[in-house]
Amino acid sequence: MTNPKVELRGYLRKLMHRFRFITQMDDELSIILTWLGRPDGINAIEEGASFFNLVQRSFNQNLLIELCKFIDDDEEKSLRDYLSKAKECAEPLEPVRFNIDEMRREVVSRNEFENIINEHIRDLENHNRVISNLKARRDKALAHTDTSFFNNPKRHYETYPLMVEDISHLLETFKNT
């Protein structure tokens, strides 16, 4: 990196935009699901069942693909890659935090910054099972249409389970990173 401070800030800005897009999709999916709980929602869902099914499946697929792009080490720009580069470039990055009590920015020592990044990496590693299942779901069912998936989709979902709660917990970890 020629200028880590500038480049990593631009990188972080791109990741933040991608994450905002992911959370907006997740929010929209949640809104669709709340319709089922409304007294008049059942009629709307029944009348537009095929349309809502298509929309929900599309949102789910896009959400899973975008999550993979956000977290996958193999992607050109991902959260894990950013954390690794920020850790490597801690000194030229000159990390600061805002002290609300004194209303000013404070420099964070390299050691403390590395500890913060290591903690975030550990938090992400706690989701390795979910991330692996997410990547397998993307690779076998969404992006590359694996024939083994089409021959037995039920087995695929049993082998690579993903629960709504898993995705919610992963998104919550991203928010805290």
pLDDT at 81: 92
Q: Where are the domains of the chain?
A: 4-176
CB atoms within 10 A of CB 31: 8
Rounded to whole angstroms, the Cα distance separating 160 from 23 reads: 23
pLDDT at 40: 67
CA atoms within 13 Å, Cβ hemisphere of 52: 18
Angle between helices 164-176 and 49-71 (to 10 degrees): 40
pLDDT at 140: 79
Question: What pTM, to 2 d.p., does this model score?
Answer: 0.75
What the block records as the tokens of 129 is 């099972």
Closest CA to 87 of 170, 167, 4: 4
- The CA–CA distances, whole Å, from 160 to 86, 91, 130, 131, 157 equal 32, 40, 9, 10, 5
Rounded to whole angstroms, the Cα distance separating 107 from 98 reads: 9
pLDDT tens digits for the chain (177 residues)?
788 889 999 999 999 999 999 998 888 888 877 776 777 666 666 767 777 777 878 888 888 889 998 998 888 889 999 999 999 998 888 899 999 999 999 999 999 999 999 999 999 999 999 999 998 888 877 776 667 776 777 777 788 888 888 989 999 999 888
Alpha helices in 2-125 (DSSP H): 4-34, 41-47, 49-71, 79-88, 90-93, 110-125
Asked if 101 contacts 37 with a C-beta cutoff of 8 angstroms, the reply is no
**Sequence-distant (≥ 6) Cβ neighbours of residue 61 within 8 angstroms:** 142
**Could you give the angle at the alpha carbon of 50 between the alpha carbons of 47 and 53, nearest 5°?**
115
Element (H, E) at 101: none
Q: Positive or negative CA dihedral for 52, 55, 58, 59? A: negative
